[in-house]
Each structure stands twice: as structure tokens, then as C-alpha cells.
Chain A
């Protein structure tokens, strides 16, 4: 094996990944919180009032970053699901299953904040148009993956079955993204563009981008924290997991155990 494959195997071994994730997760959570606070300050105090939407547009600072994360998390889930199914890597199964609830959380926030934004701007909380419906399907896909994973007793079989469902669901990701171009919808098109000029002014766009960064960092923090638990659950019978469990025990139970 070459050095890179060797490194990959070492990182991917449950006890090593458990340790590394444990070292990273608290820092990532802290960075995400700090970035989030800066973004909220920028969004609520610095960014000017919109000439058409007044202050209601400020919902953008939670709605859009969460919407991006809903799709990002699904792509992360699908890539890990693919690796889990093809190469049967334990860590990928756990990473895939750890990302599903986080993606579901972001998608849920997107739907609720979008609905609260829709009422004053469109006059309705909900309409069955392409963008809204495909986003709701995205939430159901996440819930389906989580549900299937919980319905099967054997943890590895459960992860593989749920991974398969996740891979089928990937077809919905481009539908969500392009729905505003493919169909006539009430939802507006993209405001922020990677290529070309964004349709938004600088003092409005920086809090949005900082919040997007904060939610990305949060995603990885949460996935790492969940992956740690998943690894412990799967490897509960192994020595390293037992050592972690005993080291974590409250004083009196340790005494009772010895």
C-alpha cells in the first residue's frame, strides 16, 4: 500500500476517527457560533432596509444559508452513501447516516422561514409550486432515510438500505436547484451568483456569506459529533469503545464496576 492509502486506512479506523473528531468538533462548534453571531449582527444591524421588502427581507440571512445547507448536506449524504455501498467502508456508512438529521434540520428551517417570509410578501404561507414542493420532497427524503435507518435492527444493513434510498433521492437535488428556472414559480430566482454579478449589494451580501460559512462549519461540527456516537454504537463490543465508556463513567459506577 502506498503512503496515501495507508494514511486513509488509519484515519478511517473507528478509534482514530473517534479521537480526531472529538478534537475537532468543539472547535468547529465554537467557530460556527462566532461566525453566526457576526452574521446576525451584520444582518440585523448593518445591512440596510430593502427598498421593496422593508425589513422582512432580513429573513434571507437564515433562509438562504439553510436552503444551501439542505442541498449541500444531501450531496454529502449521497457521496458517502455511494462510497458505503460500493466499497463497504464502515466510516462512510456512519458519516452518511450522521448527515441525514443535520440536513433535515436545515431543510426544516428553510421551509418554516420561507413560509414566514411568504406570508407578508406573497400573501400566503404555502403554495404548491415547483420550488416549495421539491423542497418539501427533500425533507421527506431525509425523513425516509432516517426512518429506514431506524427500522432495521442490524446497524450495517440499516445503513446500507438507507444509503440506497438516499442515492435514489439524489434525483431531487437538481430539481430543487433548477426549479426556479424550469418552471414558472412564485419563488424568485437566485440572487447570489458564483459566476457573474450578484443581484444584491455588498452590505447585504457579506452577512449572507458569513452565515453560509457558519452553517457549513456547523454542519461538519454536528456530523462529527454524531459520527462519534455512531462509531461507539457500532463498535460497542470492541475494547476501545469499552475504554471510552469506562473513562466516561461517573465515579461511583466505576467503583462498582471494579
Chain B
């Protein structure tokens, strides 16, 4: 196992590059989900304000 992690002495270069790959793509997948939630909340807020405006004479 430690042999595997050592990667023939190149572990210090190999694992960080794999980590960057995984982390950056994880952020890439999460970012639109967070933005989607924000956009949907904005739309709800706008339509609520419009409904209130139309309800008041």
C-alpha cells in the first residue's frame, strides 16, 4: 500500500495532480447547482412581488 502511495518516488507530484483533477471537476459539478438554487429563489421572489403588486388596488 505505501509502495503504491509512493509511486516510485513520484507520489508528491502524481497525487496532487490527481487531487486537482478531482477537486476542480467537483467544483464544476456543484457550482451550477448552487447558482440554480439562487436563480430559482430570485424568480420566486419576483413573482411574489408581482402578485402583491397586482393584489393591491
Interface residues, chain A, CB within 8 Å of chain B?
A: 29, 40, 44, 49, 54-56, 58-59, 62-63, 66, 101-102, 105, 108-109, 112-113, 116-117, 119-120, 218, 222, 225-226, 228-229, 232-233, 236-237, 241-242, 244-246, 248-249, 253, 257
With A49-B8, A105-B24, A244-B40 as given contacts, are A226 and B13 in contact (CB-CB < 8 Å)? no
Contact at B17–A54, with CB atoms within 8 Å? no
B24: contacting residue among A63, A108, A237, A257, CB under 8 A: A108
Cα A146 to Cα B21 in complex, Å, equals 21
CB within 8 Å of A: which of B1-57? 4, 7-11, 13-14, 16-18, 20-21, 24-25, 27-29, 31-33, 35-36, 39-44, 46-48, 51
Residues of A within 8 A of B32 (CB): 222, 225-226, 228-229
Whether A245 and B43, one on each chain, are in contact in the complex, defined by CB atoms closer than 8 angstroms, is yes
Contact check, A101 vs B14: say whether CB atoms are below 8 A apart.
no
Residues of B contacting A237 in the complex (Cβ-Cβ under 8 angstroms): 46
The 6 closest A-B pairs by CB, nearest first: A113-B17, A56-B10, A245-B43, A55-B8, A55-B7, A62-B21
Enumerate chain B residues within 8 angstroms of A62, measured Cβ to Cβ: 17-18, 21
Q: Does the CB pair A245–B44 fall under 8 Å?
A: yes
A246 contact set on B, CB distance < 8 A: 44, 47
B47 near A56: Cβ-Cβ < 8 Å: no
A-B pairs with beta carbons under 8 Å apart, 11 shown? A55-B8, A55-B11, A56-B10, A101-B31, A120-B10, A232-B36, A233-B39, A241-B43, A245-B47, A246-B47, A248-B40
Instruction: Give the A-B contact count at a CB cut-off of 8 A.
Output: 102
Nearest-neighbour CB distance to chain A for B16, whole angstroms, equals 6
Smallest CB gap from B35: residue in A: A229
Residues of B with Cβ closer than 8 Å to A? 4, 7-11, 13-14, 16-18, 20-21, 24-25, 27-29, 31-33, 35-36, 39-44, 46-48, 51
Dominant secondary structure of chain A at its interface with chain B: helix
- Are B13 and A116 closer than 8 Å at their CB atoms? yes
Determine whether the beta carbon of B36 is less than 8 Å from that of A59. Answer: no
Report yes or no: B44 in contact with A54, Cβ–Cβ below 8 A: no
Contacts A56-B14, A105-B27 supplied; 7 other A-B pairs, CB < 8 Å: A56-B13, A59-B17, A108-B24, A117-B17, A120-B13, A244-B43, A246-B47
Determine how close the nearest CB of chain A comes to the CB of B51; give it in whole angstroms. 8
Which residue in chain B gives the minimum CB-CB distance to A226? Answer: B32
Give the residue among B11, B25, B42 with the most A Cβ atoms within 10 A.
Answer: B25
B25 to A105, Cβ gap below 8 A? yes
> Contact at B24–A58, with CB atoms within 8 Å?
no
**What B residues does A108 contact at CB under 8 A?**
20, 24
Which chain A residue shows the least CB distance to B45?
Answer: A245
A232 and B13 contacting across the interface, CB-CB below 8 Å: no
Asked if A112 and B20 sit within 8 Å, CB to CB, the answer is: yes
Task: Give Cα A56–Cα B21 distance, bound, in whole angstroms.
Answer: 16
Known: A105-B28, A109-B24. A58 touches B7 (CB 8 A): yes
